[in-house]
Structure 1
């Protein structure tokens, strides 16, 4: 069975003892208070879950959160990933401190759809209910929930439940649904062991699809596990889409290796970060009068985890007043798997109150709070959400040609979107494609970036030739280190290929040179080659030893050795052991003499073969060892024979 029907996650919110859990039970028939302590104390401590089917057949997963001030962290964790809120306010109590704090959390998490339930309506008369409803409207007037429907309801008598279900169905039509096409991301809110099954984790599936048999990565630890089973509200399915409350049975990971606050994600789809650039809103709190100062230490709630960190406002801004929003870099004491578009909540360090939050823009920025105009343009685009603008802004910041994966990492876009936008830029003339070599990705760069690096390569080659006039070229890796050490070898190869196509570089034998400046060195090497070839030809069977040859040539040692290597590659000379080079004509004469001496199958000693070759022992022994090594002769005791 596959669970792919449209689904939304409904989260409760509200002050303690305002009837959230009782209302969930009345609506769904499921008691979300599962702990004995919760039932004994009459309050919700952990998150509770239920399934709600509305009159129009819309299916909702319901997350019931604690209302007590001591459990605000659990409330934030439960509100992560919800699509709409059910704000519970007791008609006999009205708006209370946690009501206000929970509304702030919902606002900071980007929740826009909300229905207000005036619970315990059976305890008050209609006039009082109307008075409380007016108070609620006034409190919500400055929030995204100003137009939220307010429905009086009683979990005890059942009055108003049908009206509430209808209001929820209407609100659901305007709720933002979770992205299904993105890679799997599941913030884990529970981890436990089931006998006979092993480790089970639960959470709200933020994005992607959870399928039996697929692999997930547990972050921030980087562990890999395979999904053995998937359940949606206690019902086993083969696959579950984003927007569902799911339970995943994981193979090859112990319950002590995964805990609430971790993320299950598609492998390699996201990496953890110890800082992110964000749009931060400061709301303050009841009784809070001071501004948010840059560098303030805060609790940062993201997904189902809360860590500590500091909020550094951009470009030297000293503070943020209540109601203001600004760009900031949030630096974390523990890494989080944050990505573009993620919402987070800030709680003051001590005492702890919800004071602000915002949206993650760049998940892997440089460690700086200085924001040049180009960086600000990227943050503006990320905040506004236009994929084309984001790609354009991130591309303009690239100092090197980028692959779609690299642009995705810089911008926060997924790889598929980054590739599409790069092709659009190319089609519009704003980007040039550099084809990758076999096995490597294509890259894109602006014309200005290409010209800058083309010039850098040309200048580096000219400097090299000025410093080393006898050298024909420089190794490609050495050239990369000289002119653009930050470029990967694959990126540099693409830039070098562009420089070659534009006539400012040539590559031969793994060495790069300038088409003009390298010509003299090439002629010098050719002259050295012919000089040494002539010397060895004239020496015939009595060439100088290698060190004597180099010293007597009058050439620079590096040039002499390169010339000898060239002659050997051309097949004009042969190296005999480590001691001397021999002209091939002389070597052929020695070989013929050895063949003639051993042709009658009569073994011969080294001295006899020396005499047959007409040379001295200095040359004979290395020659005979060379013939042994090449398979012409075979040594038996102190004599040699021809190989068959």
Structure 2
């Protein structure tokens, strides 16, 4: 591990109250993490404290100091969010205590990868007792991920073992992988305050992504947008901060009422808060009780730096889980949480409040159900095993309509870039088909089976429509979408409709869609009606009857007549001059030539133009107004002149 990568790791304390966490941090770093006067008066840590630890090789780690009192376990959980190396403090004269156990459970539930144990206050016990306590701690850690953790006897008062502890922390850091860079930036806020002349500042451990000065970010769960005015890492101003850093962000145009501890700062639109999500949950139980975790029970759900009330609903008809068991569940919360695939969380009993379990988020946006279908089970298993390719395949197979990479990313929790790569790979293998049209993030993929099913739905809907409306030539595209697949996005429907037309299951004529066979009779009738009206208009020439009289002469109902006139307009054989008159296109063209000839030598009055066209006022005024609207003529006072 390079010096640079070690700077991306965060050290967090854990342990029972009065086991010397804050005192040890001050001895190691020279910084007193207890910043509140109340903390100094009472001698306990209430809020999170922060410091910077210089390691022997010259690198540095951010340090988060957490409260040890049982009343402040929520703050401890918030502080443990995002740490890479835990410094578990156990007093040599006191041993393993209730909050030691609770904090150790939190570290495991949050999957903190590495732990170093500081056996504090060794100046208060003899060497034999210290060795005995080391054995006790080692026995307790057996069977946990920290079974081989270094145990270092120290005394913050005398300085005993501090150098050894720094070496042990450095060694643990070298064995801890840095965070993988992800597209989206996420930072759970653990402090929010105002600096005079600068504005609102928030701090937290950057979970993922990179924050740059000037970036637009989103404050969740409120959804406010703001910009990063400045960034500090370890007290130094920087242009960017990467995942794993303890980071301070100076935000523009928001207040501490808008951004509180518990908020998330994220890349805009990267995370959608939710009040229900699928998880794998491990139940640890209550101290000295064998009571199982029953489905539907209320709990405190701690995620990131926030906590809210929720219910645990076990899946597949499971009624309860016993201590030490892991089960699939859906958690439903009373507030929206910005959870994402792979996030860790902790649950605490509703009352009395105690850490009873936790787990990992599998699906952040599932259906609101605990019934698991085979498709759900396949997807959950893929997510559980971390197999992105299988997860994309499972979500794609379960899709009802042609899907974009963003759709599959939403279903799986994977990044849009990864889902796009996997979908393109499926298309190359012939498992998926990339539909023509939109490209990039908006490209859509479907299976042949899906397209056949959806094309069939369009055909069946059109057949039912024509059966109920034998005189109708078709239905609008939107009406068709609402009738057969209302949940399908319009652009996805366009792609499916194009496929149905290519397969001869539908015909698109302008904005109207019909079935090629069932709509043929109606189209023939419309064409016959249009021919009848065209003949009448050609016969009367420049002096047509009103529309009402025209339809009466043709023996057509208004609905049929107006559709036929619309067809003639589309074909360029008739022109609508006003609401009252339609003209034969050739006759209207002759009238235009007469007007142009009359205006060739200058402006003329409406009366002069009426005489030039040989029309009565009834027909002349609608024609002249039509020429005004279409740019043939232009009014100049009471006269008209050629517009071009």
TM-score bin (small chain)? over 0.9
Q: For residue 309 of structure 2, what is the aligned residue in structure 1?
A: 308
Q: Equivalent residue for 1:36?
A: 37
| RMSD of Structure 2 on Structure 1 (CA) | 2.7
CA displacement at 1:555 relative to structure 2: 3.4
- Does residue 1:46 correspond to 2:65, yes or no? no
**What corresponds to 1:113 in structure 2?**
114
Give the structure-1-normalised TM-score. 0.93
Distance 1:465 1:137, change over 3 A: same
Aligned to 1:405: 406
Aligned 8 A contact 1:28 1:52 in 2: yes
- CA gap 1:219/1:619 in 2 versus in 1, 3 angstroms: closer
Alignment of 1:172-187 (within 5 A): 172-187=173-188
- Superposition deviation, residue 590 in structure 1: 5.7
In structure 1, the partner of 2:274 is 273
Q: Which range is displaced more, 399-408 or 538-547?
A: 538-547
- In 2: Cα distance, 1:494 partner to 1:598 partner: 52
Does the C-alpha gap of structure 1 residues 308 and 224 become closer, same or farther in structure 2, counting only changes over 3 Å?
same
- Which residue number corresponds to residue 471 of structure 2? 470
**Take 2:366 and 2:161, find their aligned partners in 1: how far apart are those partners?**
50
**Mapped partners of 2:110, 2:454: distance in 1:** 44
- Within a 5 Å distance, the mapping from 1:114-263 to structure 2 comes to 114-263=115-264
> Which one is further off, 4-13 or 265-274?
4-13
Q: Which residue of 1 aligns with 2:536?
A: 535
Is structure 2 residue 93 aligned with structure 1 residue 92? Answer: yes
Q: Separation in 1 of the partners of 2:32 and 2:423?
A: 51
Q: Is residue 6–residue 178 contact of structure 2 (8 Å, CA) maintained in 1?
A: no
What's the secondary structure of 2:190's corresponding residue? Answer: strand
Equivalent residue number for residue 289 of structure 1: 290
Residues 495-524 of structure 1: CA deviation (Å, up to 9, x unaligned): 112223333223221222233333333332
Give, in whole Å, the separation in 1 of the partners of 2:466 and 2:532.
Answer: 23
- Counterpart CA distance in 1 for 2:444 and 2:186 is 28
* CA distance in 2 between partners of 1:346 and 1:604 (Å): 87
Q: Indicate the residue corresponding to 1:334 in structure 2.
A: 335
Answer yes or no: is the 8 Å Cα contact 1:218–1:264 preserved in 2: yes
Change (3 A) 1:310 1:538: same
Q: Which residue pairs with 1:55 in the alignment?
A: 56
The equivalent of 2:453 in structure 1 is: 452
In the TM superposition, residue 59 of structure 1 has moved relative to its aligned partner by 2.6
Query: What is the CA–CA distance in structure 2 between the aligned matches of 1:178 and 1:104, rounded to whole Å?
Result: 22
1:561 Cα offset (Å): 1.6
Distance in 1, matches of 2:256 and 2:126, equals 51
Which whole-Å CA distance do the structure 2 matches of 1:163 and 1:81 have between them? 25
Q: For residue 568 of structure 2, what is the aligned residue in structure 1?
A: 567
Report if the CA contact (8 A) 2:6-2:174 is conserved. no
Q: Give the C-alpha shift of residue 616 in structure 1.
A: 5.7
Aligned-partner Cα distance in 1 for 2:122–2:330: 46
Offset from partner CA, 1:472-505 (integer Å, 9 cap, x none): 3321111111110001111101111222333322
Distance 1:12 1:566 in 2: 79
Q: In the alignment, what sits opposite 2:385?
A: 384
Q: Closer, same or farther in 2 for the Cα pair 1:496/1:642, shift >3 Å?
A: closer
The worse-fitting range, judged by mean Cα deviation, of 344-353 and 226-235 is 226-235
Matches within 5 A, 1:351-370: 351-370=352-371
By how many angstroms is 1:534 displaced?
1.2
Ranges in structure 2 where 5+ consecutive residues have no aligned partner: none
Report if aligned partners of 2:10, 2:62 keep a CA contact under 8 Å in 1: yes
Deviations 1:617-636 (A, max 9, x none): 65455456556666569697
Gaps of 5+ in 1: none
In the TM superposition, what is the alpha-carbon distance from 1:435 to its structure 2 partner? 2.4
Counterparts of residues 420-435 of structure 1 (less than 5 Å): 420-435=421-436
In 1, Cα distance between the equivalents of 2:628 and 2:252? Answer: 61
Distance 2:424 2:606 in 1: 75
Residues 406 and 441, structure 2, Cα contact 8 Å, conserved in 1 = no
Structure 1 residues 583 and 110, CA, compared in 2 at 3 Å: closer, same or farther? same
Q: Which 10-residue stretch deviates more, 520-529 or 129-138?
A: 520-529
Q: For the structure 1 residues 552 and 231, does the alpha-carbon distance in structure 2 shift closer, same or farther, using more than 3 Å as the test?
A: same
Q: CA deviation at 1:572?
A: 2.8
Name the structure 1 match of 2:320: 319
Structure 1 residues 609 and 213: CA distance shift in structure 2, 3 A: closer
- Residue 504 of structure 1 corresponds to 505
Q: Label 1:47 to 1:555 Cα distance change in 2 as closer, same or farther (>3 A).
A: same
Q: CA deviation at 1:275?
A: 1.4
Distance in structure 2 (CA, Å) of the matches to 1:264 and 1:596: 72
Secondary structure of 1:310's aligned partner: strand
Aligned-partner SS, 1:297: strand
**Contact kept? 2:296, 2:314, Cα under 8 Å:** yes
1:75: Cα distance to partner? 0.5
1:288 is displaced (CA, Å) by: 2.7
* Counterpart Cα distance in 2 of 1:24 and 1:604: 97
Shift of 1:152: 1.5
Q: Within 1, Cα distance between the matches of 2:485 and 2:277?
A: 27
Contact 1:340–1:361, Cα closer than 8 Å, also in 2: yes
Per-residue CA distance 1:350-393 (angstroms, 9 max, x = gap): 11100111111111122112111211221222222121122122
Distance change >3 Å, CA 582–CA 46, structure 1 → 2: closer
Does the 8 Å CA contact 1:394/1:410 hold for their aligned counterparts? yes
Cα deviation per residue 1:598-626 (whole Å; 9 max; x = unaligned)?
A: 999897785x8777766666545545655
Farther-moved stretch of structure 1 (516-525 vs 336-345): 516-525
